[in-house]
Structure 1
Amino acid sequence: MTTAKWHILLGTALTIASCLIQLILGYSYRNCIEISKSNHSAFRCLHRNAKNITDFVDDLPHTTTTLNISHNTLSEIPLNFSFTRLQNLSHLSLDSNKISDIPSDIFRNLHHLESLNLSTNYLVSLNPGLFQSLNTLKQLILHDNKLQSIPPDIFNGCPELNYLTLRKNNLSNFTAVVVSVKDLKKLTKLDLSFNKLQSLEDSASLPSSLQELYLTTNELHTLGCKPGLLGQIHVLDLSKNVNLSAVHFKGLNLSKIYLLRLRLTNVTVPELLRLTPSLKPAHVDYSGLNLGHNNSGIKSLCNLLMNSSTEMHRMILQDNNIHNLQPGLFFNCTNVTGSLDLSLNRLKTVGCLEFLEGQNFLQNITVEHNILSELKTCRTRSFHSLTFLSYRYNRILKVNEFAFAHTPRLQTLQLNINIIAFMHHKALCNLTELINLRLDNNLLSDLYNDSFIDLHNLKTLNLRNNQLSVIFKNTFQSLKSLYILDLGGNKISQFSEGAFTGLESLAKIYLDRNRLTQKYIPMFAKLSTTLKVLDLQNNRITYVDVQTTSPFANLSKLESLKLDAQQPYGIMILPLAFFSGLTSLKSLSLTYNYITGFGSNTFDDLVKLELLSLDNSCAGVKPLPAGIFKNLKNLIHLAVENMGIDLFSERVFGNLTSLRTLQLNRNAMSTIDHTILEKLPKLNYVDLRNTPLVCTCNNSELQNWTKNNQRIQIVYLYSMTCPLQSTTRFFHSFDTKVCYQDIGIYLFVSTSNVVLLLTILPLLYVKLYWKLKYSYYVFRSWFGEQWRRLRDEEKKCQYDAFISYNSADEEWVLKQLVPNLEGNGSSLRLCLHHRDFEPGRYIVDNIVSAVYGSRKTVCVVSRDFLRSEWCSLEIQLASHLLFDELRDVLVLVFLERISESQISAYHRMRKVMLKKTYLQWPGLDCDDPAQAQELFWTQLRRALRSSASIDQADKEGAEEEEDKDRAVDRKSKVYQSQTDDVRNILL
């Protein structure tokens, strides 16, 4: 096989491996979020802490076409890094980082890239081969860097480039820039603003396709260019080059200029037009050329324009320090057919637009950012062509009656962002064709029933951010065509009856940030046939009764309802049937309301709901009731952030079959059943950030699922940490090996061994029974002997004997027993109740310690002894050592003769007497008491010094005796149980 074929096979294998790796990875990304509905093609990676660019792109699919890695802290890009794996990229943004250098091969093989944004970084220079393979690039943004020069051939690999911005850099050599772009045959816009260019001297030519050239805020002190350098330019901006004068334009070909901006330069208009006859006066932006002194500059301009045959569509006179406008000022100007802009001047009044006399075709007037204080009554001649008038950003305090009677054809009137406190109720009279009216951001406190009397065609009325407190009856009675009414940001606390009369077409009403209470909501029922959007955010709607009738019952066509953040503490109590009747509602927002409880039927009527936002709307940690979303079959987006949800239940979320986006962040869930997520067929986006999912076996299946599911995007899964951990651990990587022990293996091994054993045992029984039995007894005998010997060698008891006696026999013990066993040169050490028991310790514990800590136990038996519970316990403990542990520890001493009938009730003692020889204290009735007593003490001392182990013969005898007495012994308890019973009786 040839080398070429091997390379082909290897490449194919690598491609397949790459695809397989992508398939087994879960639908989650370390530092990016897929933009909704992008089908694995568009990703946003903003405000992340990752330092390496590979942390952003390594887990993105090869289908990525749009990638935004803006507003991060990237500083360096590795030399060996490239976007080659993402060959389908068409839009890439790396702006607002700290990148100081970019390797040459980073964009290699991006043959589909159309837009590249590298702005707002720390780039000082560009590698010559940086853009060499971007043959489809159309837009390149490099503004706000620190570039000092441009390599000559850097853009040669970008034949499709049409927009290039290099503004806000440190470029000083215009020639170098021209050389770098001269071969870009499709370049139409070049922005070099905010650099350090000093002239336009150049030996090369700009691309013939270039139409817009922006050179504002440079250090140009001359142009110095060839006459034809700017011959193809349509838009040329030379503003804020204070050293430029008209003489620098002498001889230049500006015939194609459509808009020339010279704001804040040293150019004088008459001289400019004289020295550049190719420049059409109508195509100059006359802003910032100091034409306002005594209106003489404007008059001179008008005379020049009058002599020009060019039709003027717009006249821009911004920032000319104009203080006043004389009547007829523009009379001698050529007719302006489009717009006149007088913004950013010092105008105190515009009168009744007398300065526009003779301008009969003017359509738009903009007088923004001036110091107008009043609009006076105007009943003079009308400007019937005027359709747009803007007085925004002034200081208008008062609008008088008939202030716009001279502009009856107005369609848009903008009076917003002033300080209008008084507007005459007839100020807007005669504006019968007005469509859009903006009065927002003023100080209006009153509206009258005839304030809008003539506005029959008005469709949008914006009164936001004023001081309105009451809407009176018939205020909007004439607004039959009104579609949007914005009253947000006022102080409205009351609607009079009939306040909405006349609003026959109203579809959207905004009343957010007012002071409305719940009793005014039913008034919206009068808008039931048209109303689609109702915004009641940040009002004072609260309820005290869950049985309250729904205030929205008649709003069957309402599609959007906002009730967020009711003051001061939220709605809190939500009536059970609160949303009844809203059968067309598609969007509902209830955020920041701290509702104490939701009912299972709360949202039952919202069958068409598509967006539901409940963020921060629950007071405390509590589960949502089962079935609360049961009828929301069309819900697409659900936001339940910080709702105190502690259980992700199928009974709550299981019916959301159309859900695509689920925001569960900042809740109290420690575990989540991933099978519920899988049962939501259209879900593709889940946000679990800041949810305390525990890193234990309870979430082992969830962890495994999040890393392998291919349908649902878990937002920033790899940044989710384990709560309550001393060190930072991540949810996606906590150890789950202990959770997955293969029980099947253990069951197989154990059952197979049992089967094997049950198979072998019958064979062994038949073939080797007698041999095995013989071997067993031989081994048992040998092991017992070795064990006894080892135990005797190792065990060293504290006492030689523990004396068990009744207090009635204490005199004999102290005067006879103790002196003869411990005195007279004897080395025996005895344990006695009164002398050796540990004070403060349980009696039972002392007895147990004494019996087990002594080589022998001597029971001084009398009739009083047999009646004592403690003595019975002591002899039972000793007999336990004798019979169960096969230790010869028990010695019986009878102080008096007791008949066998009396002893028969004490089966333990009877068993001992049958097995062991006991001692009888010789009484005075014997022939020689002194000699008999001496023999008694000798035998007792010999018994105490004998071995504590039982020989094999005794052991077998004990076993036989044990069998005989087994029936009797069933009634007795083992040692531990007896000890517990005695202790319980004592306590």
Structure 2
Amino acid sequence: MEVEVPATTYQPPIHMIIMKWSALVVVLVAIVFQTGILPISSSAKDSDEQSVEFPCRIVNATFTDCSYLRLRSIPEGIPISTETLLLSHNKLHPISSSSLAGLVNLRYLDMSYNTISKLERDYFTDQAQLQHLFLSHNQINKIPPDAFMSVSKLKTLDLSDQNNGIKKALSMPQYLEPLNMTLETLLLEKIGIDSAKIGGTLKIRLKVFSLARNSITKLNQDDFKALSGARLERLDLSRNAILSIDTKVFNTILGIDTLNFTQALSQNPPPGRIENISTAIGTKVKKLILRSLTLQSVTSSMFKGLENSTLEELDLSYNRLTTLTNASFGSYLSHLQILQLHNNLIASISETALTGLTSLKTLALFNNLLTEIDPGSFAHNGHLEDLYLNNNSIKHLSSEGSFRGLISLRTLNLSNNGIIQIFTGEEFQDLHELLSLDISNNFLKSGIITLTGNSFKPLSKLKYLRLKKIHLLDISSPSPFAHLVQLHLLDLSNNNMHGLESDTFVTLKSLETLYLDHNHLNNLWYQPKSKKPVLFLRSLVSLRTLDLSFNGFEAVPTGVFNDLVHLKALHLNNNQLSAVSGQVFENLKELQFLALNKNLINVVNQTLLSPVMKTLNILFICGNPFSCGCEQEWFRDWIDDTKIFLGNLSLCQCESPPEWRHKPLLDFNPEVLNCDGKIPLHYWIIIGVGSLVTLVLIIALISNRWKIYYVYLLVKARHHRSRKDEYDRLNDYRFDAFISHSSADDDWVKNKLLPELENGENPFKVCHHERDFEPGQEIIDNIIDSVDHSRRTICVISKSYMESNWCTYERRVTMNKLFVNYKDVLVLIILEDIPDKKMSKYDLIHRAVKKNTYLKWPGEDGRADEKAVFWQRLKTVLGEDRTPENYEALA
């Protein structure tokens, strides 16, 4: 049998071919549809549109926001669970019975800022639970009587700002009848109506009713008949042009908490018109707003009708009042508690102007032109609790008692004036109940405020004192705060102050907040060696917040915060601190906020923060010129591990060394500097991985040493052959066959194989290593020469042969001839049965056996005829390419 080694031709698996063709088809189809040669199916297109067509934002299960989307119709797909639906600022024009169908849970519906022109009952068929409906800024001009029949629980209805106007609908507002028991807020602002009348037979119980920004010129007796028995929280008639007011116009209303006439009357209306308002409201109104009427004066006759009223607040702000005289209020406002006179032009107040306001508790006179407060101006206002005189032009407070008689005053605001004087304490006589005093922003180049030891002596109950920006250069002994034992807040910021004594705050045992920022207190803590720092913070045992920023501090001496055991927030930012010892913070056991940003700190070490590490929640540290070297290693590592909020760390930058200048601190990695002299972790990883790879290579080399040697032998064999002439390799045969066998099969080869081939007719010349290998030559060269000078190589296959490395080498050298000169020279003899599973390891033999290209020895027990056939087939194979010339040469 001819022995062959079949050529292997690669055949790709069928699934790979299918995948390639499928991909090609998909690409071609996509190109066809993209170019429009074939239309995309409408069903697929509709499906894609449905997946993205819902434009609204679903905030949560009950809140859907469809506002500001330029919608022309209410979109489908709004969740049925929606209770709040925003549809404002769109272009909704036609709505129908199906627009809101199914939305049965709606409570709040905003459809303002659209172009809706009409309403019908079936629009809201499913909205039985609706409580708030906003339809302002539309074009509604038709409202049928049953428009709101389905929304019988409606509480708020906003129909303001209709571009087309709904004046006709207001004259007979039957559409409000279904809501008479539930409607609480009705907004009909800027709809172009000229009358406040909303029907003669209608009965509604509103709480808020607004007719602001219309063209109402008259208030007639029966205008509010529909509100008969109602108690309004607010009635807004502002920004109309009311010329006449019937004194009985509010008779049917039981009460009004706030009545707003802001900018509702003609310019500077005559006193009679204000008097009519006073008479009309009688005892019904609690707060009357008469803002922006350009009133130039106030006379007591204006309020004649309020003699027995319960009016509590009167707002006359934003007018043009210039003075308050003896006749301004008279005795008709004895029940008044709040008087708003701010933002006028009041320059003076007579001593008796406020005499009749005996119940007054709050008086707002800020943003006027007052230059002084005469003693006794408030002598009859003993119940006054809050007085606002800020933002005027007051230059001096009388030592005779500008606030004499204000024995109940709690709040006094004198900020943003031009006060220049020495406070002796007489200015605040009678203010024994004062809790808050604000004298901030009283700074003129022509003079300053000076404090003395008795400046605040009458104010023993004061809790809040603001002295910000009054050019207070220093505070000397005795301390002006010595009597303020109940003070909670003291603001001395922005004064350019440079002097404090060690006992300045010593009596302030209740002080919780102290602002000393924007001063020049650095000299108090930076003294020559012969002097000790001024400990001006001692005894502040209740302090919670301390601001010392913007003071130019270059150092913080140890012990300055020792008494601040309850301090929670400390501001030391924007100073000149280059180093701060951790001992400074040792007693701050409750500190939660610390600001050290924008100083000159180069290094933040563990000792600085360790005293406050347990309690600190917020630390501002950026804006310092950090040194990004080994000395910063602890802080840089701490940043990565801490849970303390550090603000915007992107603002933290390195200042040194030069190569790190202006680079982010977060980019600095101390590990690369090998600061502790130890090998960095990543180096250990590289060493470990390298060692492991080396170990694996060594084990692999030891385990495969024969295979490596074997490859070496093959290379050597190929090199040996390459030196021979091609002709010699093909024709210089000295043997018919070279026998490759295991030493374990030596007896069979010598006693069976050799005698059979070398004896008899036409004997074969066989190369056997024991007799034919050249003495003294390396075994490798002997094998190569023997294989090259033999026409065939007979491999005697047995179990021992499988385990022999030299046999494997001989077989490989023989197979090499197939690839060098394309001659099949291998003859396999299977000497004994070998399991197929074991033979599969030896690829070439296994492949030959699978193709039946081998000879099998029948065994010693085999029949004689079987053995004869075996020998005959072997000799036939060996003699196939044996020419007479070869035979003679071999013979």
Deviations 1:755-807 (A, max 9, x none): 13213437999xx9xx988x898778889999xxxxxxxxxxxxxxxxxxxxx
Tell me the amino acid that sits aligned with residue 470 of structure 1.
T
Distance 1:249 1:198 in 2: 23
Shift of 1:253: 0.9
Match of 2:456 in 1: 476
Mapped contact 2:395–2:417 kept (Cα < 8 A): yes
Shift of 1:623: 3.3
SS in 1 for 2:607: coil
2:582 to 595, 600, 611: 600
Deviations 1:275-330 (A, max 9, x none): x753468674444334964422233444555xx6x454333333333322334553
Match of 2:12 in 1: none
Distance 1:237 1:466 in 2: 42
Matching of residue 665 in structure 1 with residue 649 in structure 2? yes
SS in 1 for 2:313: strand
Tell me the amino acid that sits aligned with residue 434 of structure 2.
L
Deviations 1:664-703 (A, max 9, x none): 4333469xxxxxxxxxxxxxxxxxxx9675599999xxxx
Number of residue pairs the alignment of both structures matches:
629
Tell me the amino acid that sits aligned with residue 530 of structure 1.
S
1:561 to 537, 542, 546: 546
List aligned pairs for 1:656-735, cutoff 5 A: 659=643, 661-668=645-652
* Distance change >3 Å, CA 228–CA 756, structure 1 → 2: farther
Match of 1:491 in 2: 471
Tell me the amino acid that sits aligned with residue 545 of structure 1.
Y
Mapped contact 1:389–1:410 kept (Cα < 8 A): yes
Distance 1:739 1:554 in 2: 56
Shift of 1:199: 2.7
2:431 to 446, 455, 464: 455
* Distance change >3 Å, CA 222–CA 494, structure 1 → 2: same
* Distance change >3 Å, CA 79–CA 598, structure 1 → 2: farther
Tell me the amino acid that sits aligned with residue 516 of structure 1.
M
Matching of residue 755 in structure 1 with residue 736 in structure 2? no
Match of 1:198 in 2: 165
List aligned pairs for 1:602-681, cutoff 5 A: 602-615=584-597, 617-619=598-600, 622-632=602-612, 633-644=614-625, 659=643, 661-668=645-652
Distance 2:371 2:245 in 1: 39
Distance 2:670 2:636 in 1: 24
Deviations 1:114-172 (A, max 9, x none): 6x7777x66666987887777666556676x56555876777666655455555x3x23
Match of 1:889 in 2: none
Tell me the amino acid that sits aligned with residue 646 of structure 2.
L
Match of 1:246 in 2: 219
Shift of 1:348: 1.7
Match of 2:537 in 1: 552
* Distance change >3 Å, CA 221–CA 586, structure 1 → 2: same
Mapped contact 1:597–1:618 kept (Cα < 8 A): no
Match of 1:855 in 2: none
Distance 1:619 1:669 in 2: 12
1:173 to 131, 137, 140: 140
* Distance change >3 Å, CA 327–CA 186, structure 1 → 2: same
* Distance change >3 Å, CA 443–CA 161, structure 1 → 2: farther
SS in 2 for 1:253: helix
Matching of residue 214 in structure 1 with residue 182 in structure 2? no
Deviations 1:481-535 (A, max 9, x none): 1111112233222324231132121011122222222x32745432431110011
SS in 2 for 1:451: helix
TM-score (ref. length: structure 2): 0.60
Distance 2:649 2:583 in 1: 25
Tell me the amino acid that sits aligned with residue 540 of structure 2.
L
Mapped contact 2:235–2:256 kept (Cα < 8 A): no
Mapped contact 1:242–1:266 kept (Cα < 8 A): yes
Mapped contact 2:383–2:408 kept (Cα < 8 A): yes
Distance 1:180 1:198 in 2: 17
Match of 2:30 in 1: none
Mapped contact 1:222–1:248 kept (Cα < 8 A): no
Match of 1:431 in 2: 406
Distance 2:609 2:272 in 1: 72
Tell me the amino acid that sits aligned with residue 491 of structure 1.
H
Shift of 1:480: 0.9
1:370 to 344, 352, 357: 344
Mapped contact 1:638–1:663 kept (Cα < 8 A): yes
Deviations 1:693-743 (A, max 9, x none): 5599999xxxxxxxxxxxxxxxxxxxxxxxxxxxxxxxxxxxxxx999999
Cα RMSD of the aligned pairs, angstroms, is 4.7
Tell me the amino acid that sits aligned with residue 172 of structure 1.
Q
Structure 1, gaps ≥5 residues long: 1-76, 671-689, 700-737, 787-987
Distance 2:241 2:715 in 1: 122
Match of 1:443 in 2: 418
Matching of residue 315 in structure 1 with residue 285 in structure 2? no
Distance 2:542 2:606 in 1: 28
List aligned pairs for 1:4-83, cutoff 5 A: 79-80=53-54
* Distance change >3 Å, CA 127–CA 626, structure 1 → 2: farther
Shift of 1:372: 0.7
List aligned pairs for 1:717-866, cutoff 5 A: 751-761=695-705
Matching of residue 526 in structure 1 with residue 506 in structure 2? yes
Shift of 1:173: 1.1
Distance 1:177 1:741 in 2: 83
Mapped contact 1:82–1:107 kept (Cα < 8 A): no
SS in 2 for 1:555: coil
Shift of 1:453: 1.6
Is the radius of gyration larger for structure 1 or structure 2?
A: 2
Distance 1:122 1:660 in 2: 46
Shift of 1:219: 2.8
Which is further off, 334-343 or 404-413?
A: 334-343
Tell me the amino acid that sits aligned with residue 585 of structure 2.
F
Deviations 1:799-836 (A, max 9, x none): xxxxxxxxxxxxxxxxxxxxxxxxxxxxxxxxxxxxxx
* Distance change >3 Å, CA 653–CA 179, structure 1 → 2: farther
Shift of 1:350: 1.9
Tell me the amino acid that sits aligned with residue 439 of structure 1.
L
Distance 1:506 1:598 in 2: 31
SS in 2 for 1:526: coil
Mapped contact 1:392–1:414 kept (Cα < 8 A): yes
2:494 to 501, 513, 521: 513
SS in 2 for 1:630: helix
Structure 2, gaps ≥5 residues long: 1-50, 655-662, 673-681, 726-891
Distance 2:313 2:102 in 1: 45
Tell me the amino acid that sits aligned with residue 571 of structure 2.
S
* Distance change >3 Å, CA 374–CA 234, structure 1 → 2: same
Match of 2:237 in 1: 262
Shift of 1:558: 0.4
Distance 1:524 1:103 in 2: 71
SS in 2 for 1:494: coil
SS in 2 for 1:530: coil
Match of 1:862 in 2: none
Shift of 1:373: 0.4
* Distance change >3 Å, CA 504–CA 781, structure 1 → 2: same
Match of 2:208 in 1: 235
Match of 2:368 in 1: 394
Mapped contact 1:223–1:248 kept (Cα < 8 A): no
Match of 1:343 in 2: 317
TM-score (ref. length: structure 1): 0.55
Mapped contact 1:212–1:234 kept (Cα < 8 A): yes
Match of 1:677 in 2: none
Tell me the amino acid that sits aligned with residue 291 of structure 2.
Q
Distance 2:645 2:105 in 1: 35
